[in-house]
Chain A
Amino acid sequence: MIFLDLAVRNLKRHKVRSVLATVGIIIGVIAIASLGIMGSSLSVLFGGLVSDVSDTVLVTPHLAASSGDPFDPRNTLAARISERNLGLIEKAAGQHRVIPMILASDRLQVRDVGGYVTMYAMPAGDIPFLLENEAGIYPQGRSSGVMVGSLLADELDLHPGSRIEVGGESVRVMGIAAERGLGIDINPDYALIVTEDWYTERHGDQDYSRVVVKVSDLSEIESVKAAIDQQINRRKEVVDVLDSREILEIYYETSDAINIFLLGIGAVSLLVASVSILNVMIISVTERTAEIGLMRSIGAQRREVLFMFLYESLILGIAGSLVGGIASIAVGYYVSTSVAEFLTDFAVSGGGGIPITVVIGYVAFAMAFGTATSIVAGFYPAWKAAHLNPIEALRYE
């Protein structure tokens, strides 16, 4: 393979140039692979954060404009579901459990720490249904105790029996709710959970912020949704009815979009790298015009000249991809573990570890992409070299 040999020697002759072109590919491959890994570790974390509430139908006041995305800023409005509509929902839900709740906030004072806190008020009998008890007991009826979300309790060092001040009134912590993660129905980890009676006693009767319907048989989710819709939204849209599947879909759509965006950034950097290979190869062809003319005149076929230059860019691409692939395993690992650590600081212990096959998949994809772009970049100069007129090329100085 004298032409492969020539390609290698030419790359060695211009070490700095070759190394720089390779560095471009290395960076591109690392960018694609590590951004891909990061993106998928984000989705893994997303998935971990969203607790399994697939049996939940969520009824919220109808929004004039909203995507249904829990992160949509248009969601933060203070509309309510009336007692009458709750009755209709209960009727539509049949034997499935209906849990109305009020979302509120109030000032919380614990020793010298104070600030507003989210409060979930729901019927006392429904609390054990939605929340696991980590310590202490569930709040009962009008009793003065409240339940505290697990992460809030950790943060403020609260235990059953601790006294806290809510809205200026001293109350007792009855129980600590087990950690639950982000859910579409409630996010109690940093909140207070109180009984509806406790709340209305202090703030008066109020309409509900949302109604959660727990469907015991998953296959009935659609019919329950349809029934609620039919009962309440007959004349005009009064409530939005969502199930967790739809919301999870939105989560995944979001994370897919992030993924594609990140890969796009990586692809752009590889594109830049391929332009630098193109540049290097064009310079190489121009410099070696006379040499190409000579080779052609003493018997090298067009195809052989073409391959000689393709080998050059292929070698650059493979070298860059190999180094970049190895580096991106390290970078990707670091990125995904630090993302995991960062997120687990304030969220549930979502498994930050992403499967090794995913890592290898992205690295392999990036390496293949890096090699492919360098071949594509090398093709035009190689083709140009192969189609030089040998007589003119020989004369070129």
Chain B
Amino acid sequence: MNGEPILRFKDVSKVYPLPAGDVVALDHVSLTVEPGEFIAVMGPSGSGKSTLLNMMGCLDVPTTGKIYLSGQEISRMSDDDLTRLRRDRIGFVFQQFNLIPLLSAAENVEFPIVLTTGREESRRRAIEVLRMMHLDDALFSHRPGELSGGEQQRVAIARALVNDPDLLLCDEPTGNLDSKTGTAIMDLLAEENREGKTIVMVTHDPNVAAYARRTIRIVDGRLI
């Protein structure tokens, strides 16, 4: 990465114009995410942490300010370019798992790379990542509806990692899981981080945040 941070926010603001008045979701935020970091973003609901995560994930662009992903400025990129970045450089893990119900576990995992890679290679890679998540081989052909919450989240993490992303973004990854399963999932994420994966995670649970090595607090769109 020749010293370049994974992610750099430079004076980033996001304003949502609403009929009742503008809503400032992010207010002149500057931050840097270095390679190998594990960051927890904490804050009350409505504080702007989701907006922050969406911008890190190239789902949204700032109203003012600049965002650099591995040195590349993304705030003026076209939808297609942003989509390509999400596909190749970012991994997303959601609270609701968000697996595609029509696809089997293995197919869900290979989805991001099958868009660019041959099917055989994608499948090989998907199975490799699923095994890393300690998911039983017998479950690979199951549809999400046939899997437990913990199993679904393992599949979702496998999907987020299958493209070997620069940055893994997690939005309340344990929010829909019981504490035991949640702990297992957090252990997986911590393991990934130890092996060098950069992770940014939104959570409001201090126990979960404790896995991170740095915590960013956000209130009313400002870092504190």
Residues in A lying within 8 Å of B, measured CB to CB = 2, 6, 9-10, 13, 290-291, 294-302, 304, 390-391, 394
Nearest B residue to A13, CB-CB: B102
A residues near B44, Cβ cutoff 8 Å: none
Partner of A299, one of B54, B83, B100, B107: B83
Quick one: given A291-B101, A302-B79, are A2 and B57 in contact (CB under 8 Å)? no
Q: Which residues of B contact A295 (CB under 8 A)?
A: 100, 111
On whether A297 and B57 interact (CB within 8 A), knowing A2-B114, A2-B115, the answer reads yes
Residue in chain B with minimal CB distance to A294: B98
A291 near B83: Cβ-Cβ < 8 Å: no
Scan residues 83-137 of chain B and give those whose CB is less than 8 A from a CB of chain A. 83-84, 86-88, 92, 94, 98, 100-103, 107, 111-112, 114-115
Q: Could you list 15 examples of A-B contacts with CB < 8 Å?
A: A9-B103, A13-B102, A294-B100, A297-B57, A297-B92, A298-B112, A299-B88, A299-B112, A300-B87, A300-B115, A301-B83, A301-B84, A391-B54, A391-B60, A394-B98
* Alpha-carbon distance between A390 and B86 when the two chains are bound, in angstroms: 12
Cross-interface CB contact of B111 among A2, A290, A391, A394, cutoff 8 Å: A2
A298 nearest in chain B by CB position = B112
Closest-by-CB residue of A relative to B85 is A299
Number of interface residues, chain B, beta carbon within 8 A: 26
> Closest Cβ of chain B: how far from A258's Cβ, in Å?
48
Would A298 and B159 be within 8 Å (CB), given that A2-B115, A391-B59 are in contact?
yes
Given contacts A290-B98, A301-B83, 5 further A-B contacts (CB under 8 A): A2-B115, A297-B92, A298-B87, A299-B84, A304-B115
With contacts A391-B54, A391-B60 known, is A299 near B103, CB below 8 A? no
Contact with A along B40-61 (1 / 0, CB 8 A): 0000000000000010010110
A290 to B98, CA, bound (A): 8
Cα A298 to Cα B163 with chains together (Å): 10
Alpha-carbon separation in the docked complex, A301 to B83 (Å): 6
| Bound-complex Cα distance A299 to B58 (A) | 10
User: In the complex where A2-B111, A304-B115, A391-B60 touch, is A298 in contact with B86 (Cβ < 8 A)?
Assistant: yes
Within 8 Å CB of A13, what residues of B? 102
Bound CA–CA A391/B83 (angstroms): 13
Which residue of A has the minimal Cβ distance to B110? A2
Docked-complex contact B115 and A299, CB < 8 angstroms: yes
Q: Can you name the residue of chain A whose Cβ is closest to the Cβ of B107? A: A2
Candidate in B83, B94, B101, B115 with the most chain A CB atoms within 10 angstroms: B83
